[in-house]
Amino acid sequence: MSILIVDDTRSVRSLIEFYLRSDGHRTLVHAESAAQALDMLGVDMPGADSPGPARDGWDLVLMDIVMPSGPNGIEACRRIKADPRHARLPVIMITSDLAETTLEAAFAAGAMDFIEKPLRRVELLARVRSALRLKAESDARTQRERELLVMTRAMEEANRKLNLSNELLLRMSVTDPLTGVANRRSLEDLLGREVARARRSHAPLSLIMADIDFFKQYNDTYGHQAGDDCLRAVAGALGACLRRSCDLLARYGGEEFAAVIPDTDQEGALRVAEMMRRAVRDLGLPHASSAAAGEVTASFGVATSTVDETWDARTLVAAADQALYAAKTAGRDRVAAHCSAPPGP
């Protein structure tokens, strides 16, 4: 353990060193003044924040209070304790002045103890052992705190990565990987909840089913990579037509999409479906094999559950699908609404 002995009298420094070496202490350093001690500790010096072998690794300072020149021991102690690197460095004052005001000033400056002159071996060693034991315990506690902090940060980082992974898995479980819109599972979950809510609130609930016209022929003509690009483009066009956060667009399967539009009657749903139809047409994707047009188009079926009906999610999907079939039978690239009684489950 490194002990710094600060006293302007050589004989006192030698006596302290003799006592300490007799107790097994070997790393002892002398300073003849408080100013020299501050220099050794790197206090109040440019670049003091940078660790250095001559300035760090101290375990105890034994400091005489009275110095013939420069700062006295109390002022030096105050400046040492004000340095963040030495905040836990114990300083024991050595003094023949036991006046209450002197001791009070020493403790206020940060001294942890004092030793009275003339020095007595038993007292000196007892106070040094106590100070070094407390310093060792403080260092061990600080090291444990640092290790705990490292472990805590590592656990926080692991938890952050785990949460990101869970979020990714959740998104993957409810998202169509090709188009980035919701998948069928997500659609069915939401539709079930919205049907129950519509029954409670007696509000209309609309569902739009969409199908890209002659998509098999598109794949045969342009290839499956172009087909995937077409699906992504159509999904983007359809999604842009849904302006409310409560609306949901999902890929129902293959080239089919579905949109859940809560609190919307049939007239409003037909307007949204027509907007979607135009949006797909406006993409201007060439489709030489389409019997409906020379570019990619889509057909739409609309079904709306009203307060007078007790449809469940399945019958609402079947009604929208029936309307979609009607739109395709009528020539495609158009919107049709379900008007007859709802189909049975």
Active site residues: 255
Tell me the two tokens of residue 108.
């206020």
Measuring CA to CA, which residue among 165, 155, 131 is closest to residue 61? 131
Tell me the two tokens of residue 288.
């030489």
The full DSSP string for 299-317 is EEEEEEE-TT----HHHHH
Tell me the two tokens of residue 206.
């609309």
Contact indicator for 92, 63 with CB cutoff of 8 Å:
yes
Q: In what order do the strands lie in the sheet with 27-31?
A: 27-31, 2-6, 58-64, 91-95, 113-116
Radius of gyration of the chain (CA): 42
Q: In 10 A of CB 305, how many CB atoms?
A: 24
Tell me the CA distances in angstroms from 90 to 62, 136, 189, 306, one per residue in order: 9, 11, 66, 81
Measuring CA to CA, which residue among 97, 255, 114 is closest to residue 176? 255
Q: What is the dihedral of CA 82, 85, 89, 91, to 10 degrees?
A: -40
